Amino acid sequence: MTSSGDSRRRALIALFVGALFIALSPIFVRLAETGPTATAFWRVALALPAFWAGLVLVPGALGAAPQALRQWPLLLVAGAAFAGDLGLWHTSIQLTSVANSTVLVNIAAVLVTLASWLIWRRRPQRLFLAGLALSVGGVVLLVRASFSYSTSALAGDLLGLGTAVFYAIYLLCIGVLRGRGAATLPLMSVASSVTALVLLPLALLSGERMLPQTAWGWATLAGLALASHAGGQGLITYALAHLPASFSAVSLLLQPVVAALIAWALFGEALGPLQLAGAAMVLAGIYLANLSARNEQARHSASKEQKRSNAA
């Protein structure tokens, strides 16, 4: 097998293992002995040493940090948005099913594409509109299923939608920063530090339990921080640098499916027909929205290349 084939195989393995690690995060949150906001703080705080060690050890990463720091207003917004994302999502996981909370947060992918259309005043493609309609229809089914179950589950679904909004803001900020030349590792290190600083006072003011009571509780937080947060994100970032952009949708769609299966095995959270239909519609909508965005990006790149050729 060629070295190119070996690199692609390693990247594929990294993609699926990274998606699996991230899919474990709602399971860790359910098993945590701390409150949801406190768990969100420890998730970031315990991952920070890994991020900053990588910044020092990875060749060229530290030298790229000043470029990221010059964009400090966007970094602050990104870090604060990620704090809102984690705080709301962890609370959502405690109130509704793991499947619902995980599917709903991935609506962020659709929101990012929609915001991009609005910001750059581009007319949405029919494919994207179809994906948006599917996602909205799926959300309606998921929320209806939760409403028939309990008011707390409905509140968890609504928090999941709020999580998607915060996550979309975070992704947009990071996308702009990357477009301005800021490297990934400095961005993750600085933005995660801001997130931890925002979450700590919120967790303290909430009155939640801040510290685990057992070694198992600390191990759960360490797994959430190092496996799901640092390891999962790191593996997916590595993989997508070596794979076509189309594989990004695979990681998005794999996470809620794996999380739902694990929650079914551990917590007995079987999905009813309405939830299955709603989740399938949301995931199909996310896929179509991502496909539309990739098509638009390909057309935009081809147009720029054509202009360069004409100018030459």
Q: What pLDDT band is residue 3 in, cutting at 50, 70 and 90?
A: low
- The predicted pLDDT at position 298 comes to 66
Three-state DSSP class for 245? Answer: coil
- The predicted pLDDT at position 172 comes to 83
Of residues 133 and 61, which shows the higher confidence score?
Answer: 133
Q: What pLDDT band is residue 198 in, cutting at 50, 70 and 90?
A: very high
Cα–Cα distance, 167 to 18 (Å, whole number): 19
Cα–Cα distance, 19 to 108 (Å, whole number): 16
105, 163 in Cβ contact below 8 A?
Answer: yes
Q: Is 97 exposed, middle or buried (0-12, 13-18, 19+ CB in 10 A)?
A: buried
How many beta carbons lie within 10 A of that of residue 273, not counting itself?
9
- The predicted pLDDT at position 303 comes to 65
Lowest mean pLDDT among 21-30, 90-99, 155-164, 236-245: 236-245
pTM to 2 decimal places: 0.81
The chain-wide mean pLDDT, for the chain, equals 81
**What average pLDDT does range 28-47 have in this prediction?**
95
**What average pLDDT does range 76-104 have in this prediction?**
90
Highest mean pLDDT range out of 54-68, 71-85, 199-213, 298-312? 199-213
Three-state DSSP class for 34? Answer: coil
Residue-wise pLDDT tens digits, 208-262: 999 999 999 999 999 999 998 888 877 776 776 666 555 555 566 777 888 888 8
Q: What angle do CA 10, 12, 14 make, to 5 degrees?
A: 70
